[in-house]
Amino acid sequence: MTAQTRSIVVAAMVVTDPVGRVLCVRKRGTDTFMLPGGKFEPGESVDHPEVTAAREVSEELGVDIELSQLRPWNIARAAAANEAGFEVVGHHVRYVGEFTDELANVQPHAEIEEVRWLDPWLPTGKIAPMLVETTLPKLREELPQLAAGREQPQRALSSLTVFCGSGFGNDPAWRVTAERLGQTLAENRVELVYGGAAIGLMGTVANASLDDGGSVTGVIPEVLVKKEIAHPRLTHLETVATMPDRKSRMYELGDAFVALPGGAGTLEEFFEVWTQQHLGIHAKPVALLGPSGFWEPLLALLRNVVDAGFVRPELLDALIVVDDVDKLLPALIAWRAGRTKF
Position 3 scores a pLDDT of 45
Tens-digit pLDDT profile for residues 51-89: 999 999 999 999 999 999 999 999 999 999 878 888 999
- Check residue 319 and give its pLDDT: 97
The strands making up 112-118's β-sheet, listed across from edge to edge, are 33-34, 22-27, 112-118
Residue intervals of the chain classified under CATH 3.40.50.450 are 159-334
Secondary structure percentages of the chain, helix, strand, coil, to 5: 35, 25, 40
The reported pLDDT for the residue numbered 1 is: 39
Q: Identify the pLDDT of residue 146.
A: 80
Q: Quick one: pLDDT band at residue 292, thresholds 50, 70, 90?
A: confident
CATH ID of 3-146, from 3.40.50.11310, 3.90.79.10, 3.40.50.2300, 3.30.2130.10: 3.90.79.10
What is the arithmetic mean of pLDDT over 297-325?
Answer: 96
Pair 32, 116: CB distance under 8 Å: no
**Where does the pLDDT of residue 2 fall: very low under 50, low under 70, confident under 90, or very high at 90 and above?**
very low
Partners of 74 in the β-ladder: 92
Q: What is the pLDDT of residue 338?
A: 79
Count CB atoms within 10 A of the CB of residue 304: 11
The string of pLDDT tens digits covering residues 76-130 is 999 998 788 889 999 999 999 999 999 999 999 989 999 999 999 999 999 999 9
Rounded CA gap, 320 and 289, in Å?
Answer: 8
Is the pLDDT score of 49 beyond 60? yes
pLDDT at site 279: 94
The residues of the chain that CATH labels 3.90.79.10 are 3-146
Taking only the tens place, the pLDDT of each residue in 193-222 is: 999 999 999 999 999 999 999 999 999 999
Angle at 260 between CA 257 and CA 263, to 5 degrees: 110
Four-way CATH pick for 159-334: 3.40.190.290, 3.40.630.10, 3.40.50.450, 2.70.98.10: 3.40.50.450
